[in-house]
Every structure is written in structure tokens, then in C-alpha cells.
Amino acid sequence: MNESCSLCCPSMTPVIDDTAHWQIRLNYNQNLLGKLLIVLNHHEEQVANLSEQEWQELHVHVQHTTERLHRAFAPDHFNYAFLQNQDRHVHLHVIPRYARARMVAGVRFEDPDYPGHYSVPGPERRVSTAVLDALAQLLSDAG
């Protein structure tokens, strides 16, 4: 992983999966339960420059992370976004949305704007390392 990727995937966030082209990480901002990042393993600033193999693997990861999130937290909807406003390293936000609050790892997670507009990255909500690790374990177990 390139050092320029420090904003989208700080070293403190748990890695859910690591493959040839991509790394799936729990987002440090858990203002919505289970927010993930799918991060390219080498530095690239343009989504349009992804190779065919990178696109194919990304497609598989989008399907797999969506399934994992369904099994772990039962979201009601998903948003997906390439933004790269603060960090120009290619990464995809996978954002589960919830009609009702969820209690996970002793924390209440709400989505007060559902089903309306959600501004990515949204208000920041950092949780403890222990909660991040518990969420990562639930997602790993759902894999």
C-alpha cells in the first residue's frame, strides 16, 4: 500500500480481506454501521486507469462485501461511492444504510437520514479500537 493512502486507510483500521489488487478495510468513520473501503493495493489516482483484472476483482469484492454486510448487520440499502476528494488514491466506499437502529458490540448505531440523502463521508464517528475489532470479527465470521 502506498504511503499516500494514509487518509482513506489509516494503519489502525482493521483489514477484512487482502487480495492481489485490493484490500478491504473497515472505515475508521463508523457513523453508519459497517462502512467499508475497498482500496487499490498500488497507488493510482484515476479510476479510469484500472486494469481489466482490477475491475474484475473489484466487482467480486463489491458482491462479497455486500453479502458479508447483509449477513453481519442486515442493512436495508447500500450506497457505493468513489470520491477521492481528500485522498487521491483509488478507493470505493461501501456504505450500508439502515431503516432502524442496530445495537452491535455494545454500541447503538443509527442512520437518522435514512432513506434520504447521505453525504459521504458524513459526520465523523470514531469508535474504540475494541469496537472496530469486534465489527471486523463479525464481518470476517460472515465471510
Which residues are within 8 A (CB) of 76 and not within 5 positions of it... i.e. 6 or more apart?
Answer: 97, 98, 99, 114, 115
CATH code of 3-141, in short, is 3.30.428.10
Q: What is the pTM of this model?
A: 0.90
Q: What is the pLDDT of residue 1?
A: 47
Q: What is the pLDDT of residue 72?
A: 98
Please state, in angstroms and rounded to a whole number, the distance separating the CA atoms of residues 17 and 136.
10
Q: What is the pLDDT of residue 9?
A: 56
In this prediction, the residues of the chain whose per-residue pLDDT falls under 70 are 1-12
**22, burial (CB in 10 Å: exposed 0-12, middle 13-18, buried 19+):** buried
Distances, alpha carbon 95 to alpha carbons 3, 49, 51, 139, in Å: 24, 24, 24, 14
Q: What is the pLDDT of residue 84?
A: 78
pLDDT digits (tens, 9 = 90+) for 3-33: 445 545 556 689 999 999 999 999 989 999 9
With cell 472505515, the residue in question is 27
Q: What is the pLDDT of residue 3?
A: 47
Please state, in angstroms and rounded to a whole number, the distance separating the CA atoms of residues 139 and 45.
28
Please state, in angstroms and rounded to a whole number, the distance separating the CA atoms of residues 121 and 29.
8
Please state, in angstroms and rounded to a whole number, the distance separating the CA atoms of residues 12 and 17.
15
By residue count, the chain amounts to 143
Q: What is the pLDDT of residue 85?
A: 76
Q: What is the pLDDT of residue 10?
A: 57
